[in-house]
A and B are shown apart, each in its own frame.
Chain A
Amino acid sequence: MIRKTILSLFLLFILAEYLFAQGTGDIGVVIERNSGSVVIVNTTSHQVVRRVEKLGNLSHATGVFSRDALYFFTFQRDGWINKIELLTGKVVAQKKAGDNAIGGAISQDGKYIGISNYQPGDIKILDSDNLEILKVIPALYTTKAGEQKQSRTVGLVDAPNHRFFFALMDAGEIWAVDTRTPDFPILHQWKEVGNYPYDALMTADGRYYITGFLKSNWVVRLDLWQLEEGPAKVSTIDPNLHLPKVPMYKVPHLSGWGIADGKAFTPMISEERLMAYDLKSWSPLQSVPTYGTVVFAVPRPDQREIWLSFAGPKNDTLQIIDVATQSSVKMLKLGKSISHIQFTPRGEAAYVSVRAKDKVVVLDAYTHQQITELSVQGPSGIFFTNRAHVIGL
């Protein structure tokens, strides 16, 4: 009798496991900025699956996925990192690793988390398992007055051959750290690359690290195949197009820089245009006038279109640029504070957070028609699990 009961319970357990087994390939995380929570969404059913609350200050929060796409690590303005298990919504580890953080990365082998801090100016490297802090790398530099200071750090990404790359905002430098060697040595320090780097990106093939500047009229590209050549500067000035400088109500984000058709479509500071650069020769091609100053330039995964969001009073509009003709094909008024655009892994749909309307709009990537909308409180960043397998994200 007892043996029968145990056997039935065992079979029931196996059946339950089979029935409720879930993958994470079609889920993602949406930051609810104003309420210190995130929601986990399913991109097959286009539904909110669960909400994870009391995470702290999620202003400007971003994050990365573990390589098994089971965990999401938040990088928060208050310096906290929360490790969230996606299938249960449980916070399985947390750590305060700064006082004012701006972003982070996960190492190529998935073992380490890097967090980039404004305050104190450093990056910290943590064990991705339990979030123990393993190394603090202060972003030390010498000011023109000869004073030693710590710079705010930006644009931290993982790179091929176990590297972290990041830029020093106040120092105007780019550094590379080796994440394979236990002491995490600094391998490169390129100095005087430009004034006030504000963000950077790694191309999805892991070849180019591109940095934008607030106060220099150039963009810098590092070719990881030829690091000895150092950072290559290319001008942001278009001799053929003189647009007026306009107020910039929000600084562009580069993780979505439009890499498409062998070109980098780069947002310009205080100007309503993108500049297209040939990625390989790193030479300027031409400007693409835009509706406003661009915050995100996100290529559709097939790279035929680039979807743009804007700053300030024009942030209620999504503009779609056709890459082949480099012209505007659609303007969609979705509501105040369009703050992020993310395509589903195979690119059939786009999720757009419309923060002031408390909703995420799901659009068909090809017809541009609305599929549905999700009720999400103050949505900002959107992250899908396919990012777990892309270098630099």
Chain B
Amino acid sequence: MRQVLILFLVCCLAPFVIAKGVIANKQPPRLSEASKARVLMTLREDCANCHGLYRLGGLGPALTPERLKVYPVEALALIIEHGRPGNFMPPWKDVLSKEEIDYLANYLLTVEPTPPEIQMRGEK
């Protein structure tokens, strides 16, 4: 039931936020350096458990800007905030503040992850 409600909310918001999303992308929420560090720490230490350290997916889907570009930033923030009940995406509202969640949504949409290269060892 909660899942339906969240889906409904996302759908209702979509027309309003698609246009705003572009603006929001350009103006990420202002956060203290400590808060930014906390967001990146959460991304690295917690989100990475399911979505991979370089956001290429695992148990959860990939979170690269390429895959996420169809989502308005507010929709992403809503999913992060409330989770996706039934799909094991937990709500993060008890871990991050609203501003931090907005910053994270923006970060996922705009910053490309760069996996480390592998040392090539002759013929494969």
Contact = CB atoms under 8 A, between A and B. Distances in A.
Interface of A: 33-36, 53-60, 77-78, 80, 82, 91, 93-96, 100, 102, 118-119, 198, 214, 247-251, 311-313, 315, 336-337, 355-356
B41 A57 contact: no
Interface of B: 41, 44-46, 48-50, 52-54, 56-59, 83, 88, 90-91, 94-95, 115-119, 121, 124
B44 A34 contact: yes
A250 B44 contact: no
B interface, over-half SS: loop
Contacts of A82: 118
Given A247-B83, A312-B46, A59 B53 contact: yes
Contacts of B115: 56-57, 78
A312 B83 CA distance: 14
A100 B41 CA distance: 23
A118 B57 CA distance: 9
A96 B94 CA distance: 39
Contact of A54 (B46, B49, B119): B119
B88 A313 contact: no
A151 to B, nearest CB: 13
Given A55-B119, A100-B58, 12 more contacts: A34-B53, A54-B118, A57-B54, A57-B116, A58-B53, A77-B52, A78-B56, A247-B94, A248-B88, A251-B49, A251-B59, A312-B46
Interchain residue pairs A-B with the least CB separation, the first 4: A247-B90, A59-B53, A54-B119, A56-B118
A215 to B, nearest CB: 9
B49 A249 contact: yes
Contact of B124 (A35, A96, A214): A96
A60 B58 contact: yes
Nearest to B47: A249
Contacts of B88: 214, 248, 251
B124 A118 contact: no
A249 B116 contact: no
Nearest to A101: B58
Contact of B91 (A78, A247, A336): A247
Contacts of A248: 88, 90
Contacts of B91: 247
Contacts of B124: 94-96
A92 to B, nearest CB: 8
A187 B12 CA distance: 51
Contact of A55 (B46, B58, B118): B118
Nearest to B44: A34
Contacts of B56: 57, 77-78, 100
B95 A312 contact: yes
Contact of A77 (B46, B53, B117, B119): B53
B16 to A, nearest CB: 28
B95 A313 contact: yes
Nearest to B93: A247
Contacts of A78: 56, 115, 118
A48 to B, nearest CB: 20
A249 B121 contact: no
A336 B116 CA distance: 24
Nearest to B53: A59
A91 B90 contact: no
Given A251-B50, A337-B45, A94 B58 contact: no
14 contacts: A34-B44, A36-B118, A54-B117, A57-B116, A58-B53, A59-B52, A77-B53, A77-B56, A78-B56, A118-B57, A250-B49, A312-B46, A312-B95, A337-B45
A249 B90 contact: yes
A292 to B, nearest CB: 12
A137 B117 CA distance: 28
B58 A102 contact: yes
B14 to A, nearest CB: 25
A22 to B, nearest CB: 23
B69 to A, nearest CB: 21
Nearest to A118: B58
